[in-house]
Structure 1
């Protein structure tokens, strides 16, 4: 399905030209003659299908900046390309600060417009990673806020934790959408600069002719359109952390100035008469192979070694599939609360098995967006494969979902059972507390106790006590795993994971080790 692009311009001639160009590029245009109409489209039934906005900055009534502000207030995080035929550099800078992805000057050449659209559509949402850091309003993000149970990701986080105590330059490498910014924020939030600014710059989203001004600042009157003084991102981050995302996309001439800023801790504003000293923690990130770009002559070798003093590689989601379930649980709980007032309670075993089988080329950002769309589309209280049509089309026929669901969960599990496993934590606890069990349920006998001390009179390890408790629960409830999980106060998938860890056969309730 072709991406739908919202065209916002008060000039009917310009709208027709844009419409024709967008259709020729293979996209589906939707036109709006002013800012108010554009916001109405985004609020309406067509809004969920819009992938990109091309926005005129200068319009009567609600202008381009007003539309950007309205989108931010609504939590709409679509990539936006702004276009203008008038207004100085400060207008464009204001638009970029308000969230615009790129800008073009009227009349834009077809090649420039096509490139801008293609680049913008690569960014699935302006701030998708920022949505995962909503906690920063209540306090700095820390490593405890990164959801993982993957050994590969734990190794990455362990490496990142070691860097918090110093100001060593860090290069975070990984595919788009893996959570590089979250790792960077966790490093800052766990160090001495936690209460200081964290300033993000997407180097790949800044037009080449504005990179130097946005990074290092400019003086009033330093060039045509510079009607006000601009401090620059380095100065804004003074005392805190500067996060240069997609640093591999910087132009060679900007790389030279960045090298000096990193080496000397000072920047030269455009048109300035003196340098400005800054104290920053620099964390860079890229989805590119920077070393290969050095070999290809596209990135300065001396800058590479300055930025990559402490490299951290974030693995893609397909290499840590054990993270998919807890991430699904997290996003489902959050989106259900915000979009359906908690109506959507869970996800079916087949649907989860399907999500775990998918390779997620867009990584966590793609998973987040898929869950958001699914929750919005879901008419019941449980997500099924029907809410993930694009993923199902790619997975179906390559994976036996019934077998995958059977192997992962207790045979005979129902969607209602699984929904309980994926209820928000507070609701889950209430369900466990209020659960109604059949009258013939076997209760533990008064003699069913566990030893707390070993033969030497020392407290037994928690794992041994847990192991014995699970075996006793299975025996007392005659192997009814759903009831065992409820009585132990854990979800069924958690129970089955522990059975696997302890070598307990779920069919017989017997273990391949001797109970303590």
Structure 2
């Protein structure tokens, strides 16, 4: 049986027919919700549950509001969820009427299980591909909105709510989060939800530009300004005039360019290389980083005044391991897309144990890694559904698979210890603190399950699974692992940041069994 890959709304006034359809939908590997009449169906599709409904099976003949009435109301409200209409009367007139009203398929009662399964799978595939094409078009045209972001996570809903608020103004935004969490997607949604949505969104990866070309690429240059400047070049700031400039990995900017960026933000003008006078620019700035800018400020790598100019409205995107609810829906999304691209229409689902495997993995590369992993699995798959065997690299990295039904629906609160100073403004992306502390308040004891989940990005757990303080050795080992991962195995840098010598670091690696496969020569070759 395939894993649940869609939620289907069953609308029928006959309780026996509803039960039969529920059992069939469950057998096909999907979840279901029932509505006893047309009015109830419209209420579901216009309420908060609508975002979770992927398909509707709709009876044509019902008292009060019939199937045609429901279709008409859905079309009026511009709700594009695919609909399969079913009726006991399969005349050509009924089919034409239903299709003209907005139905995508038509089945006659009693419908065979195989016929219904094929119809559901085809419509879910088409819907997912249409959604993907729409997202690509919107992102290319700068009209992508937060409604186009695929998520089922409360943590991401908070991010989206912050993004919606930020989009209504020209406030500078700093998006923080690990590589691959979707920072550029959030930036695109902010642009597409703002008044500048019809204007350009110019993206610059600051970490991919050689230091000697950064200033020219960002601010432009005049003809003859330096050797090799045979033509005038318009910089990214001028390209973004009237629109939005997205500076990805802004922490990689050289110090001299940071000065010019600060002036552009303060004065609204830039100085192209070789230009006789400044050029006025109107732009909205969104910055992003996978590093902690506050640490770079303390190290003297990043200007403090620029940091506070960029960090006016911070948005932190949690890593994928802290929003496991998104893994099933993202997996289905990628599966549908790659099955179509690779010419494998028979691959239409994922086995339950394979989905449990994906939800048990920590995903250091986040959504980008999940996307590539599903791509590889689709290429390997020879059957109708992805199995554990199609994810050999993930399976080799997971010690124990946790069944998905035992996973929490939202990230639990747990005592954590932050490994870096937290900027005061960061609280806007987390649960707001109380305006006035209550000294007499005694927090309730956490549930036993609260200690069994990974801490958020940038934090370390201070308590073990039983709620006791963790041993120093365990925390030291975790901190060393984190540092090696954070600094990409550059051991000189790891030792420097941990405040210990390299020989001490290698001794600890050996003590904790971390020395096998450690790229201890990487920093010397860099």
Q: TM-score, normalised by structure 1?
A: 0.52
Q: Provide, for residues 216-260 of structure 1, a one-character-per-residue CA deviation record: whole Å limited to 9, x for no partner.
A: 001111111111111000000000000000000111111011100
- In structure 2, what is the equivalent of residue 298 of structure 1? 301
Quickly say closer, same or farther: Cα 1:139–1:343, change in 2 above 3 A: farther
Q: Distance in 2 between matches of 1:130 and 1:300?
A: 41
Whole-angstrom distance in 1 between the partners of 2:244 and 2:152: 28
Q: Is residue 2:193 matched to residue 1:190?
A: yes
- RMSD of Structure 2 on Structure 1 (CA): 2.0
The whole-number CA distance in structure 2 between the counterparts of 1:319 and 1:200 is 27
**Equivalent position to 2:234, from 231, 234, 249:** 231
SS at match of 1:262: helix
Which position in structure 2 is the counterpart of 1:140?
Answer: 143
What's the CA shift for 1:374? 1.1
Preserved contact between residue 222 and residue 274 of structure 2 (Cα < 8 Å): yes
C-alpha contact 1:340 1:376 (8 A) present in aligned 2: no
Residue by residue over 1:431-455, the C-alpha shift from the partner in whole angstroms, topping out at 9 and shown as x without a partner, is: xxxxxxxxxxxxxxxxxxxxxxxxx
> Which residue among 388, 391, 408 is the counterpart of 2:391?
388
Instruction: Name the residue aligned to 2:343.
Output: 340
Residue 263 of structure 2 is aligned to residue 260 of structure 1:
yes
Residue 208 (structure 2) aligned to one of 194, 205, 208: 205
**1:398 Cα deviation from its structure 2 partner:** 2.4
Please say if residues 198 and 237 of structure 1, whose CA atoms lie closer than 8 Å, have aligned partners that are also in contact: yes
* Equivalent in the alignment of 1:355: 358
Q: Secondary structure at the match of 1:282?
A: strand
Whether the aligned pair in 1 keeps the contact of 2:388 and 2:395 (CA below 8 Å) is yes
Residue 169 of structure 1 and its aligned partner are, at CA, apart by 0.4
Say if 2:263 and 2:269, in contact at 8 Å, map to a contact too: yes
Instruction: Note closer, same or farther for the CA distance 1:381–1:134 as it changes in structure 2 (3 Å cut).
Output: farther
Unpaired runs of at least 5, structure 2? 1-131, 408-526
Equivalent position of 1:424 in the other structure = none
1:386 Cα offset (Å): 1.4
Please say if 1:243 is aligned against 2:238.
no
2:280 matched to which residue of 1? Answer: 277
Call closer, same or farther: CA 1:284–1:196 in 2, change over 3 Å.
Answer: same
**Structure 1 residue matching 2:285: 3-state secondary structure:** strand
Q: Partners of 1:183 and 1:139 in 2: how far apart?
A: 12
SS at match of 2:400: coil
Q: Write the distance in 2 (CA, Å) between the matches of 1:185 and 1:222.
A: 34
Corresponding residue for residue 421 of structure 1: none
Describe the shift of the 1:306–1:133 C-alpha distance in structure 2 as closer, same or farther (beyond 3 A).
Answer: farther
> How far apart are 1:292 and its partner, in Å?
1.0
1:342-363 Cα offsets, whole Å, 9 max, x none, are: 2211111111000011010000
Q: 1:406 to 1:311 in 2, by over 3 A?
A: closer
Q: What's the offset of the Cα at 1:322? A: 0.6
Residue in 2 that maps onto 1:476? none
State the alpha-carbon separation in 2 of the partners of residues 265 and 387 from structure 1.
Answer: 52
1:461 is matched with none
Give 1:220's match in structure 2, choosing from 218, 223, 230.
Answer: 223
CA shift at 1:273, angstroms?
Answer: 1.0
Residue aligning to 1:399: 401
The Cα shift of 1:318 comes to 0.5
Higher RCO, 1 vs 2 (CA within 8 Å, ≥6 residues apart) = 2
Q: Shift of residue 160 of structure 1?
A: 0.9
Deviation at 1:378, TM superposition (A): 1.4
Q: Give the one of 133, 142, 152 matched to 1:149.
A: 152
1:158 maps to which of 161, 165, 169? 161
Matches within 5 A, 1:17-56: none
- Please identify runs of 4+ aligned residues in structure 1 that moved more than 3 A: 129-135, 405-408
Whether contact under 8 Å (1:348, 1:382) holds in the other structure is: yes
CA contact (8 A) 2:271 2:278 kept: yes
Contact 2:142 2:191 in 1 (8 A): no
Counterpart-to-counterpart distance in 2, 1:247 and 1:353: 36
- Any idea what SS the aligned residue of 2:277 has? coil
Contact 1:170/1:309 (8 A) holds in 2:
yes
Displacement after TM superposition at 1:329 (Å): 1.0
CA change 1:406–1:245 in 2 (3 A) is closer
Aligned residues: 276
Partner of 2:381: 378
| TM-score, normalised by the number of residues in structure 2 | 0.51
Describe the SS at the equivalent of 1:321.
coil
- Confirm or deny: 8 A CA contact 2:142 2:200 kept in the other structure: no
Gaps of 5+ in 1: 1-128, 409-516
